[in-house]
Amino acid sequence: MPDRPTSIHICVTCRNAGDPEDAPERPGARLYRMLRQAATRRGAPVELIPVECLSVCKRPCTIGFSGPGKWTYIYGDFAPDEASAEVILDAAKLYAATPDGLIPWRQRPSALKKGVVARIPPLASHPTPDLPEAAE
Ligand code: FES
């Protein structure tokens, strides 16, 4: 398995209900900026990838963790602040330490427990289940 850093996708178009469309900086973009600053400060081995919309628009701000051979996780409800950036980077460290992306429930920060939206299996890891033959 390639040794790649955890990828964190950050929706930079997330905004709160009622926010003006033309605000100078959307909350998602602010969270991305907070993450870049925190990651640089820490020297965190993560790849921060800004994206436009993760289809979780009603739960801003939204991010996702992914890595080779690992489950992808999507989380919402992050405030666009430094505290969220620190929690996300702490969680990314836990994610990186797993072989499959499954952070044990007890280790997960509460923001991840409450904010989980979806998990998606790794590519090419879908064993074909033994399905019963269709009745004819
Ligand atoms: S705008 Fe952020 S998930 Fe859609």
DSSP E strand stretches across the chain:
6-11, 46-51, 63-66, 72-75, 116-120
Check residue 129 and give its pLDDT: 64
User: 72: domain CATH number?
Assistant: 3.40.30.10
Residue with tokens 């489950």: 71
- 134 lies in a domain? no
Ligand 1 centroid, distance to 23 Cα (angstroms): 15
Tell me the C-alpha distance between 50 and 9, whole Å.
6
Check residue 134 and give its pLDDT: 67
Check residue 101 and give its pLDDT: 96
Measured from CB, residues less than 6 Å from any atom of ligand 1 are 11, 13-14, 28, 53-57, 60, 62
Tell me the C-alpha distance between 111 and 93, whole Å.
15
The residue nearest atom 2 of ligand 1, judged by CA position, is 14
Asked if the bond preceding 61 is cis, omega within 30° of 0, the reply is: yes
Which range marks the domain in which residue 57 is found?
6-120
Check residue 123 and give its pLDDT: 87
- 40 lies in a domain? yes
Which residues does 15 contact at the CB level (< 8 Å), separation at least 6? 21, 23, 26, 27, 28, 60
Ligand 1 centroid, distance to 93 Cα (angstroms): 24
pLDDT along the chain (136 residues), means of 10: 81 93 92 98 96 97 97 98 98 96 95 96 72 67
Phi, psi of 23 (to 5 degrees): -60, 145
Ligand 1 centroid, distance to 37 Cα (angstroms): 22
Check residue 128 and give its pLDDT: 64
Overall number of domains in the chain: 1
* pLDDT tens-place string over residues 108-122: 999 999 999 999 999
Dig out the tokens for 88 from the structure.
Answer: 């996300």
- 126 lies in a domain? no
CA-59 nearest atom, ligand 1: 3
pTM score above 0.85: yes
Instruction: Look at residues 43, 60, 45 and name the one whose alpha carbon lies nearest to residue 8.
Output: 45
Residue 73, Cβ neighbours under 10 Å: how many? 22
- 111 lies in a domain? yes
- 132 lies in a domain? no
Tell me the C-alpha distance between 90 and 17, whole Å.
28
